[in-house]
Structure 1
Amino acid sequence: MLGTVNLPNLSIKAFAIAAGEAHTLLLAGDGRVYSWGRGILGRLGRGSQHDDHLPLQVRFGSEEYNVRIVAIAAGAYHSLALAEDFPSKKDSDGDYSVVPCLLNKFLDLHPPVSSSTSTAPEAEDKASLKIVAVKAGGMMSLCIDNLGALWMWGNCPGQSHEGDVSFISNFTPTPVWDFHGHTVVQVACGNEHVVALVTAGESYTGVDDLVCYSWGNNSHGQLGLGDKENRPRPEVVKTFDLESPWVIYEVACGAFHTAFLTRKKRPNTLESTCWTFGLGDNGQLGHGTTQSTLLPEPVKELPQNVLLVSVDCGLFHTCVVSSDGYVWSWGMEKGLGLCPDDSNDGTHSGDALSPLLISCNPYQPQFPEPVQVACGAAHTVIVAQEGYKLWSWGRGRSGVLGNGKTTDSYTPTIVLWPPLMQDFKQDEFHSSHNTKETERVTETDDRLSSALNEMKLLQTKLSTMERYASILHGSIFGEPFDEQDIPASLQNSGAFNISKEWENILEAADRTKLSKLEILYRNMLAVVKDKLMKRRIKEIINDCLPSSQVEN
């Protein structure tokens, strides 16, 4: 008799993630899409502009259609999803949409050149345009079709009548004709610049034959062309032309800087290199300075002999992940991407000019089986454990970290994934044909409803306690409360020795912190003495005078 095979539950496996200015998208293995974070302008796609602090599913089309999504992308304030198929057209009006709307223009488009001359319906259908990849950044959107052509719409760079670059809102997807006869393999975009990997010949034969092009705004050297002149049309980045010993296998763009992952052609090892260029004011290039760079330069302080598998850029920070689970970040506010805060004068302040190692937790530096990293404007999300677990850190406003909170996190925090609904349904995954399936589903729904109510109550209590702890910690130490501030004795054993921990705090404090503590407690002691004195005087008066006179 054949044994049963336990198939992976694709509904709880993260296949890809994308991060916008303050929202995050997740594509699950079963083709469902989830979103969380800031909801204004409808970027979460759930019919409102409310923020969501936890991953919630995005619905595509009517309930009777099972739309499967195969790719996602996030711009600063908008989201894209590529469906495997869709049953019908849907119209969309207005400046923006709070629910996913079908891009009707693509249904009417055809490849620039069709080999078919037949007018038969079958031939016309075969020649219709198929999209295979989507990308977004800033306020522009891009996609690649099945013939390798690149299409753009939104606030895209183009050529003005004077020959200079102009940025005009384009409501219709437009092909980039400069690559006609070649295949675009990969593309990335920042606020106003685009980088693409394009085949040297007509078809794609491997990364060794790719050429790197860039165009758009170049005010900070983010095109990597050696100057600050804008480019209205694609131009080859000569550092990575066909003569280069390096080949690019991943590209990423921040607002005003660019990052590449490369390996040597025909390598003998798996060693790879991260290159960055463009704006460097906050250390987002990782070169050890705040200087901007006009040509690609390697990030030299990353460890040698590592295989980098993913890179992404935020507004002013950059993050890379190695195949063995190590994560490095650099840029604004210790590589977190957070904006400077006068109250944040502790260990998390100051820009990271060189790569800093981001540990999974205090006891484990590596993230298990990493898949992908994505950077928003000021937050970072990593998919690990082969897609079954996510961590996030950075700015937490609007719930963009997906942990149910709206506070900043200076260390990785676990995203509440899979959603509770999916977590409960795991028990039913391998018993869909059970005769008591209906009863089980009803029982699961009851358990889910009860658990959701309990979770909301616990979240309210937790939020209250966190606010209290943060206010107390901030009033004493002058900086926000962080998870690493929890005393070691409480972390390890659950017991709290306040006298011992107080001694440890005093020993670890520098002169500035000790001075702050001295001033704080001196003021507190003066207030207490003053209050005691007033009460003692009142007691003496009560003892010496008749009660009637005291009352009067």
Structure 2
Amino acid sequence: MRTDRRRAARFTRVAALLSVAIGFPVIALLPSASAELSGRSTVPASAAKSAEEFGIGRLYAWGDNAGGQLGLGDKTDRSSATQVGTFSDWQRVAVGPGHSCAARLDSLWCSGMNNFGQLGLGDNTQRLTMTRVGASTTWAAIAVGENHTCATRASGTLYCWGRNQLGQLGLGDTVNRNTPVQVGTASDWVALSAGFDYTCGIRGDRTLWCWGRNTNYQLGLGDNVNRNVPTRVGTADWADIAASFTHTCGTRMDQTLWCWGENTYGQLGQGDNVDRTDPVQVGTGIAWASAATGRLHTCATRLNGTLWCWGRNASGQLGLGDATDRNSPLQVGTATYWATVSAGRAHTCGVRVGNIVCAGAPTQTGSSAWATRPPATHPPSFPA
């Protein structure tokens, strides 16, 4: 559910803009032109300020559509990629289990379930087509949770809306909102990720802040107490963040990888199944580019372009050719040109030289995807 987790390794290639929700759906945006990722930016691509431009494209969708989250005007599932509308200037995408949002060059659009006002349209009416959110023309990053949405603007300000029973909107209360409401007064938010009922963000000074549900230590604050306002996590300098169902991972500016929260299936990569209340480093190595957190598994890319996965693997979502869980990072194949990766409920998708490759449970109920061109096939494991 994280927005625009597009961190490239230190090489140049044409690549898709990919994001997979931790609940059910998947979102991917491939440039319609030959946009290139040039090196690893120290500021995430989702940054409200100094963000890299990765190109624009047409939007395609496929998979589960029970909530109208594909934005195709109905609730019919799609087994092949179908273009969403006729616009060709989509830039960013994010999806939750029942609703999706995407940003064009000058506007933000959402579709799907809206029972908690998560579409930000001032009501609780479901939408089956992409509908514009307000009149702002300066939306930057987007993060979609289970029933809430957050987004930054070009000014660096942060807005959230939707379900708020656990404080996931960060507004100091537990009252739902059906239109975007500014979170605090800070104007330097540069990265954003939404979990099921919680949210995390990074500010311009590279500090990490989390809020919302904390029953499994997913906020990384040393306890399991919920927070209804952004609360700082430790003192480290953070580069990127990935919220999930009950665990969170992120990379620091020194290129180390850290995870915390639930660890029932080894999704924290610690070689055991013990939950962690605070961020703990994954291994001792550096040179991690980005992390992607699924419901109960994690995948990450390194600066040399390799892909590593660990955690729950009952559906083959780790891409290792089997269904055995792993509690430590294991390299997926031998390829060294993975540009980005994103993890879902029981599946994972990655981008290699402009192609989307997925592993796991492609036919599971609730799995859906967006892209700007038809996806690759869904093999049982990632090819080397």
TM-score class, shorter-chain normalisation, is 0.5 to 0.7
1:293 aligns with 2:239: no
Q: Report the AA paired with residue 330 of structure 2.
A: T
1:276 aligns with 2:276: no
**Aligned counterparts, 1:63-102, within 5 A:** 95-102=76-83
Q: What's the counterpart of residue 383 of structure 1?
A: 301
Q: Which has the larger radius of gyration?
A: 1
**Aligned counterparts, 1:424-435, within 5 A:** none
Cα distance, 1:371 vs. partner? 2.7
1:132 aligns with 2:91: yes
Structure-2-length-normalised TM-score: 0.67
Cα distance, 1:390 vs. partner? 0.8
Relative to structure 1, is the Cα distance of residues 336 and 251 closer, same or farther in structure 2, using a 3 angstrom cutoff?
A: farther
Cα distance, 1:215 vs. partner? 0.6
Relative to structure 1, is the Cα distance of residues 259 and 72 closer, same or farther in structure 2, using a 3 angstrom cutoff?
A: farther
Q: What's the counterpart of residue 145 of structure 1?
A: 104
Cα distance, 1:353 vs. partner? 1.0
Q: What's the counterpart of residue 400 of structure 1?
A: 317
Q: Report the AA paired with residue 393 of structure 1.
A: W
Relative to structure 1, is the Cα distance of residues 310 and 146 closer, same or farther in structure 2, using a 3 angstrom cutoff?
A: same
- The answer as to whether partners of 1:22 and 1:400 remain within 8 angstroms in 2 is no
Please give the alpha-carbon distance, in whole angstroms, between the structure 2 residues aligned to 1:174 and 1:145. Answer: 12
Q: Report the AA paired with residue 202 of structure 2.
A: L
Cα distance, 1:21 vs. partner? 3.9
Q: What's the counterpart of residue 275 of structure 2?
A: 351
Q: Which is bigger in relative contact order (C-alpha 8 A, separation at least 6)?
A: 2
Q: What's the counterpart of residue 185 of structure 1?
A: 140
- The structure with the greater share of residues assigned to helix is 1
- The answer as to whether partners of 1:251 and 1:259 remain within 8 angstroms in 2 is yes
Relative to structure 1, is the Cα distance of residues 401 and 355 closer, same or farther in structure 2, using a 3 angstrom cutoff?
A: same
Q: Report the AA paired with residue 351 of structure 1.
A: D
Cα distance, 1:285 vs. partner? 0.5
Q: What's the counterpart of residue 194 of structure 2?
A: 253
For 1:154, which of 89, 109, 112 is the aligned residue? 112
- The answer as to whether partners of 1:23 and 1:376 remain within 8 angstroms in 2 is no
**Seq. identity, %:** 25
Q: What's the counterpart of residue 129 of structure 2?
A: 172
Relative to structure 1, is the Cα distance of residues 247 and 71 closer, same or farther in structure 2, using a 3 angstrom cutoff?
A: farther
1:226 aligns with 2:172: yes
- The answer as to whether partners of 2:156 and 2:190 remain within 8 angstroms in 1 is no
- The answer as to whether partners of 1:20 and 1:75 remain within 8 angstroms in 2 is no
- The structure with the greater share of residues assigned to strand is 2
Relative to structure 1, is the Cα distance of residues 260 and 153 closer, same or farther in structure 2, using a 3 angstrom cutoff?
A: same
- The answer as to whether partners of 2:22 and 2:195 remain within 8 angstroms in 1 is no
Cα distance, 1:282 vs. partner? 0.4
- The answer as to whether partners of 1:14 and 1:383 remain within 8 angstroms in 2 is no
Question: Tell me, what secondary structure is at the counterpart of 2:110?
Answer: strand
Deviations 1:243-278 (A, max 9, x none): x3x6110000000010001123xxxxxxx2110000
- The answer as to whether partners of 1:21 and 1:75 remain within 8 angstroms in 2 is no
Structure-1-length-normalised TM-score: 0.48
- The answer as to whether partners of 1:25 and 1:72 remain within 8 angstroms in 2 is no
Cα distance, 1:213 vs. partner? 0.8
Q: What's the counterpart of residue 204 of structure 2?
A: 263
Q: Report the AA paired with residue 296 of structure 1.
A: P
Relative to structure 1, is the Cα distance of residues 326 and 30 closer, same or farther in structure 2, using a 3 angstrom cutoff?
A: farther
Q: Report the AA paired with residue 167 of structure 2.
A: G
Count of paired positions: 301
- The answer as to whether partners of 2:117 and 2:176 remain within 8 angstroms in 1 is no
Relative to structure 1, is the Cα distance of residues 234 and 26 closer, same or farther in structure 2, using a 3 angstrom cutoff?
A: closer
Please give the alpha-carbon distance, in whole angstroms, between the structure 2 residues aligned to 1:211 and 1:250. Answer: 11
Please give the alpha-carbon distance, in whole angstroms, between the structure 2 residues aligned to 1:260 and 1:237. Answer: 11
1:410 aligns with 2:334: no
Cα distance, 1:18 vs. partner? 3.6
Please give the alpha-carbon distance, in whole angstroms, between the structure 2 residues aligned to 1:19 and 1:367. Answer: 26
**Aligned counterparts, 1:87-126, within 5 A:** 95-103=76-84, 106-107=85-86
Q: Report the AA paired with residue 82 of structure 2.
A: C
1:371 aligns with 2:289: yes
Please give the alpha-carbon distance, in whole angstroms, between the structure 2 residues aligned to 1:181 and 1:214. Answer: 14
List alignment gaps of at least 5 residues for structure 2: 1-10, 35-54, 66-71, 338-352, 354-379
Please give the alpha-carbon distance, in whole angstroms, between the structure 1 residues aligned to 2:317 and 2:127. Answer: 29
For 1:310, which of 240, 247, 252 is the aligned residue? 240
1:198 aligns with 2:138: no
Q: Report the AA paired with residue 135 of structure 1.
A: A
Cα distance, 1:337 vs. partner? 5.0
Q: Report the AA paired with residue 126 of structure 2.
A: S
- The answer as to whether partners of 2:170 and 2:211 remain within 8 angstroms in 1 is yes
Q: What's the counterpart of residue 6 of structure 2?
A: none
Instruction: Kindly report the root-mean-square deviation, in angstroms, between the aligned alpha carbons of the 2 structures.
Output: 4.0
- The answer as to whether partners of 1:18 and 1:74 remain within 8 angstroms in 2 is no
